[in-house]
Copies of this chain bind each other. A is one copy, B any other.
Amino acid sequence: MLAWLGAIQLGSAPVASTQTPAVRQVSLIVTGGTVITVDPARRVLTSGALAIDGTDIVAIDTPEAIARAYRSPQTIDATGAIVMPGLINTHTHAPMVMYRGLGSDLALMDWLQKYIFPAEAKTVTPAFVRTGTRLAVLEMIQSGTTAYADMYYFEEEIAAVTREAGLRGVLGQTILKFPVPDAKTPQDGLARTEAFIKQFKGDPLVVPAVAPHSLYTLEADTLQACAALARKHGVPILIHLAETRDEVGIAREQHRMSPTMYLDSLKLLGPDVLAAHGVHVSSEDIDVIKQRGVAISHNPESNMKLASGVAPVVKYLAANVTIGIGTDGAASNDDLDMFEAMRQTAFLQKLSTNDPKATPAPVVLEMATRLGARALGLEKITGSLEVGKRADLLIVGTDASRQIPLYDPVAQIVYVTRGDDVKTTIVNGNVLMRDRKVLTLDEAKVKAEARAASAQVRAAVGLP
């Protein structure tokens, strides 16, 4: 079990609902609909119901059994819909929604140098990060993400907004060797990170993390200092790994090793590391990733749009590496819809392995939920619908014309469903969105503030 889980109180023990004579009062009942649990047995209840008390799932059974054993002041009828675990986005840069669509169709370095770096240098402030994060978490709640991993600047602002919106986050303060908006030096970045960890350690929704950006933007001593800081506090490490051919070239030229072997030589790799991308890896690299217990975040849309390459997802799965799915920042992707990322994961592996049977729908759904939670070190509390876990779940409507007919609910979720189909989003037992109405954010205000702040971005990059 990973260290930072210690801070989070685990849920109450399973309740044998059918043997409880008295009716138990709970805070929320979700009843009716097809329940896709994504538990280890991949149970799907054709007609199911959940009793939720406080933050936790206390029972999963038929609607009749739940009605006999539980009563609640709040019941949500999910008849005709699909009830499923919330999606886990294992790699984002949330405030970068503010740069969505800037300089599409450019090579990576042109894109960064003409658009992203100038925009970040001139716009990233705590207020801008709050505005961007509010827009990002709004989009996440509306498209069914209940937990996410993030790397950016002023991560304490991201954490505050995440908590305010009611989402779950593993949030990493980013460290680079260049001056960045919130730190002039990597030493400043490390100091900010430690303050950030102290501020949020033990939070019920936010897990603070250390986020060394990558091997090509940090010197060895800072990478080692990041690892030491994370281990001192028992928090996760988020890092980019083996994303592009260029990164492999740099590692080979400067260190005569693959990116994976180089980070391993610095003792950075361990079960507390979530590495984003993992595109360019050899069989030996995968062995090391497996041996060290490193988790991988697969970002197929970003990897396609930026022409980074195809991560060997089938090989990671075969090696039993923990692998989740991410969208990457919306500046490169260009959205935060995990349903799109799921479909793309399946499509891309089938194509790249010449095997239409590769990464079938149940496996992809598991990657986007339970395996994603494992990648975040949160599998004990989220990622599936199981008694004792936190109530992090979605009600997905099946009334859109694209949802008809519905023969196979799991295939429908992976191949047909969009974020727009999510009706209700629940995190930690709190209803964040009900029937498309977001309850924890003022949607109109969030959008208006983001539109207003986009004028700063236009000015920064010279758009009219």
Chain B residues with Cβ under 8 A from A100's Cβ?
402, 404-405, 407, 416
Taking CB atoms and an 8 Å cut-off, the chain A residues in 412-456 that contact chain B are 412, 414-416, 418-420, 443, 446-447, 450-451, 454
**Of the residues B348, B412, B447, contact of A404 by C-beta under 8 Å:** B447
Chain B residues with Cβ under 8 A from A13's Cβ?
none
Chain B residues with Cβ under 8 A from A463's Cβ?
407
How far, in Å, is A139 (CB) from chain B's closest CB?
Answer: 4
Prevailing SS type, chain A contact patch: helix
Contact between chains at B350 and A404 (CB < 8 Å) = no
- Most B CB contacts (10 A, CB to CB) among A138, A335, A420 go to A335
Chain B residues with Cβ under 8 A from A107's Cβ?
355-357
Q: How many copies does the complex hold?
A: 2
Chain B residues with Cβ under 8 A from A138's Cβ?
401
Chain B residues with Cβ under 8 A from A111's Cβ?
356
Sorted nearest first, the 6 A-B pairs with minimum C-beta distance are A405-B454, A105-B360, A304-B347, A104-B411, A334-B415, A307-B356
Chain B residues with Cβ under 8 A from A335's Cβ?
402, 415-416
Roughly how many angstroms separate A101 CA and B346 CA in the complex, as a whole number? 14
Is residue A408 within 8 Å, beta carbon to beta carbon, of the partner chain? Answer: yes
**Of the residues B105, B419, B450, B454, contact of A411 by C-beta under 8 Å:** B105
Is residue A41 within 8 Å, beta carbon to beta carbon, of the partner chain? Answer: no
Chain B residues with Cβ under 8 A from A337's Cβ?
402
Chain B residues with Cβ under 8 A from A334's Cβ?
411-412, 415-416
Roughly how many angstroms separate A454 CA and B408 CA in the complex, as a whole number? 12
Mask, A343-381, CB within 8 Å of B = 1, is 010111011011111101100000000000000000000
Is residue A98 within 8 Å, beta carbon to beta carbon, of the partner chain? Answer: yes
Roughly how many angstroms separate A353 CA and B105 CA in the complex, as a whole number? 13
Chain B residues with Cβ under 8 A from A275's Cβ?
none
Mask, A76-119, CB within 8 Å of B = 1, is 00000000000000000000011011101111100100000000
- Most B CB contacts (10 A, CB to CB) among A107, A334, A457 go to A334
Is residue A60 within 8 Å, beta carbon to beta carbon, of the partner chain? Answer: no
Supposing A304-B347, A337-B402, A401-B447 touch, asked if A102 and B407 sit within 8 A by C-beta, the answer is yes
Is residue A406 within 8 Å, beta carbon to beta carbon, of the partner chain? Answer: yes
**Of the residues B139, B301, B399, B415, contact of A347 by C-beta under 8 Å:** B301
